[in-house]
């Protein structure tokens, strides 16, 4: 697993998977945890780290901006110590706006953020910066929770959670490419999440799940990726969280949506329920037509 540093040697090869990684920091321990994961990926794939710190205009005076610059430079130093190219970027403004904008500016392939493991109505209504970014960012977003302490280089098992619909297309391709690039095993997971008991309707969802898993497996095997496929009954976010923990995967990949209405914020998409509670880092990927 990622924290088993004795399992394999690190192979640093320039890859188109993650050439440029934007790591956002606020100087917290949670952000530092995420930065370590971002640097681990940069080291594995030969990527460059862009360390971003944001001074919120209404709250940060000159002293606080200086602190944010120091926060970004600390990540740069850590990245360079790991033999990664790195630079520091400091912006002023609202973090949820500045992070996606800066990611586009630097041509980032991945945004890395720390996230608090909070749940409930307060989290749904207010949202953390991480949840706001993953709803709106066009780039894949890697969120790392406080309990996902990953310091080693290994990436052996990648979990793809998919519903098989068009919105999960980009996440599927991303997960397969990541497993291929890292020589990892791909776990494909589909949850039959239905709220009715009509046998014919449940059978239709189960059949769709099987077809979805077959399509993912065929695509993965074309790339030479080892793949397992699982169809499980249950609430989607609960199925995903349980599988990620039980299968001891290193990383979870799933699609996300950009709806920001009150209904979406209160009810929450599957990704918004999974991210704050996941025991492993989560990459959310948006399909952009």
Average pLDDT value for the chain: 83
Q: Which whole-number Å values give the CA distances from 279 to 144, 201, 276, in the listed order?
A: 9, 33, 9
69: pLDDT strictly greater than 60:
yes
Which tens digit of pLDDT belongs to each residue from 158-179?
999 998 887 789 999 999 999 9
Query: CA-based angle 83:84:89, to the nearest 5?
Result: 140
Bridge partners (DSSP) listed for residue 192: 233
pLDDT of 197 strictly over 70: no
| pLDDT at position 117 | 60
**What is the model's pLDDT at position 257?**
65
CA distance 200 to 266: 31
For residue 204, what pLDDT is reported?
Answer: 87
β strands within 17-168, DSSP E: 20-25, 48-55, 86-92, 110-114, 141-144, 157-161
Nearest in space to 287 (alpha carbons), one of 162, 108, 112:
162
* Least trusted range by pLDDT, from 47-56, 71-80, 257-266: 257-266
Answer yes or no: is pLDDT of 70 > 70: yes
pLDDT in tens, 22-48: 999 999 888 998 999 999 999 999 999
Alpha carbon distances (Å) from 105 to 50, 108, 139, 243? 11, 8, 12, 36
Its CATH architecture, for the domain 20-144, is 3-Layer(aba) Sandwich (3.40)
What pLDDT band is residue 63 in, cutting at 50, 70 and 90? confident
pLDDT of 245 over the 50 cut: yes
pLDDT at residue 110 above 50? yes
Percent of the residues in the chain that have a pLDDT greater than 70, as a whole number? 82
0.75 exceeded by pTM:
yes
289 is written with which tokens?
């037509």
pLDDT for 151: 47
CATH fit for domain 157-285, picks 3.40.50.800, 3.40.920.10, 3.40.50.620, 3.20.20.70:
3.40.50.620
Residue 75: pLDDT over 60: yes
**Per-residue pLDDT at 86:** 98
pLDDT at residue 265 greater than cutoff 70: no
- Among 240, 249, 232, 246, smallest CA distance to 270 is for 240
Residue 155 has pLDDT above 50, yes or no: yes
Predicted local distance difference test score (pLDDT) of residue 152: 53
Q: What stretch(es) of the chain map to CATH 3.40.50.620?
A: 20-144, 157-285
pLDDT tier for residue 251 given thresholds of 50, 70 and 90? very high
pLDDT band for position 54 (cuts 50, 70, 90): very high
* Burial class (CB within 10 angstroms; exposed 0-12, middle 13-18, buried 19+) of 74: middle
């Amino acid at each position: 697993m990622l924290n088993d540093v004795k399992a394999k040697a690190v192979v640093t090869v320039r890859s188109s998977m993650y050439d440029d990684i934007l790591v956002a920091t606020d100087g917290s321990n949670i952000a530092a945890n995420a930065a370590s994961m971002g640097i681990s990926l940069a080291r594995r794939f030969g990527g460059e780290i862009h360390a971003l710190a944001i001074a919120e205009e209404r709250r940060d005076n000159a002293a606080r901006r200086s602190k944010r610059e120091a926060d970004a430079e600390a990540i740069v130093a850590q990245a360079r110590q790991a033999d990664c190219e790195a630079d520091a970027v400091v912006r002023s403004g609202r973090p949820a706006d500045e992070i996606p904008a800066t990611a586009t500016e630097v041509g980032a392939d991945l945004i890395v953020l720390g996230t608090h493991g909070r749940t409930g109505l307060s989290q749904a209504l207010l949202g953390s910066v991480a949840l706001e970014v993953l709803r709106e960012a066009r780039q894949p977003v890697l969120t790392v929770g406080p309990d996902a302490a990953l310091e080693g280089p290994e990436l052996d098992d990648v979990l793809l959670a998919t519903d098989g619909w068009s919105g999960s297309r980009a996440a599927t391709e991303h997960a397969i490419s990541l497993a291929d690039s890292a020589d990892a095993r791909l776990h494909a997971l589909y949850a039959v999440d239905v709220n009715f008991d009509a046998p014919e309707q449940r059978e239709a969802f189960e059949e769709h799940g099987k077809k979805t898993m077959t399509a993912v497996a065929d695509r993965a095997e074309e790339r030479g990726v080892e793949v397992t496929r699982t169809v499980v009954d249950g609430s989607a976010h609960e199925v995903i969280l349980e599988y990620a923990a039980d299968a001891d995967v290193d990383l979870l990949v799933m699609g996300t949506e950009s709806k920001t209405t009150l209904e979406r914020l209160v009810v929450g998409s599957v990704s918004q329920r999974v991210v704050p509670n996941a025991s492993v880092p989560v990459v959310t990927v948006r399909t952009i037509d």
